[in-house]
Amino acid sequence: MGARLVVRTLSELCVTIGTLIVLLVVYVLYWTGVRADRAMDGEVDRLHEQWSTVAQPAGQSAGQSAGQPAGRPTGGPTSRPGERPAERPGGQQAGRQSGGETVPQQPSHAPGASFAVMYIPRLGSGWAKPVLQGTGTDVLKRGLGHYDRTAGLGETGNFAVAGHRRTYGDPFKDLPELRSGDAVVLTDGTTWFTYRVDGAPYRTRPDDIGVIDPVPAGSGFRGPGRYLTLTTCEPEWGHSHRLIVWAHLDATRPVTEGKPRALLS
């Protein structure tokens, strides 16, 4: 009788534990994704609403002369008609004169505030994620996070962004699919910034913080420029390493002139 009670108790305990594990898996794989997708969509909607209510200043020239990085050879400018090719290596700082036009310094953003939307055509025509300031846990539940103390959008330096590979909407789940020449497009409501990927994703250790330096270590870039770095966990369901994608600013376009070609093809 005692043995039967022990066996039955253990069986019930195993069933209970199994049920809890299944519920945990459902929560991690499904419910966190549902909540994150809603949060990200909400951030994007708020940005669009905010931008639609802000009048475009007359003679706006924001981002019209963003700089071409001194990086890997890319076969010359690839900007399309109506887009401003990035300037040649030389890297004037944002807020300084460049070719007769002023490149405005990007404003600082409050921690956790969304300020841009990122589009990656390679990951799907509907792929659009908000970019928020900071990389804290709560921030990355609502979108992509801009690393503090890295360059602003379109500025000389390294605009570095982190995102979850899995859970919380899986924003960077398919980051390994990116290839050299792929477009990563961002907008701050006044300007479209088109970056072009340089090479296949790079795998490194979590403590390799040089990958978000102004001239990223290991990127192959040879001097100051206007760069973009995307980081996420590696492997897909782990965090022992990091997966890195680097890109350079290829062209800019005022939003008043419509979407860049990368989002229309």
User: Which among 233, 248, 253, 261 is annotated as catalytic?
Assistant: 233
Region at 134 (left for phi over 0; alpha for psi -120 to 50; beta for the rest): left
User: Which among 142, 146, 164, 253 is annotated as catalytic?
Assistant: 164
Whether residue 96 lies in the annotated active site: no
A 10 A CB-CB count for 102 gives 16
User: Which among 242, 248, 253, 261 is annotated as catalytic?
Assistant: 242
Whether residue 239 lies in the annotated active site: no
Whether residue 242 lies in the annotated active site: yes
Residue 125 DSSP SS3: coil
Cα 197 from chain centre: 12
Cα 183 from chain centre: 12
Q: Where are the beta strands (DSSP E) in the chain?
A: 84-85, 97-98, 101-102, 114-119, 128-133, 144-146, 157-162, 183-187, 191-197, 202-204, 226-234, 241-254
Q: Kindly list the catalytic residues.
A: 164, 233, 242
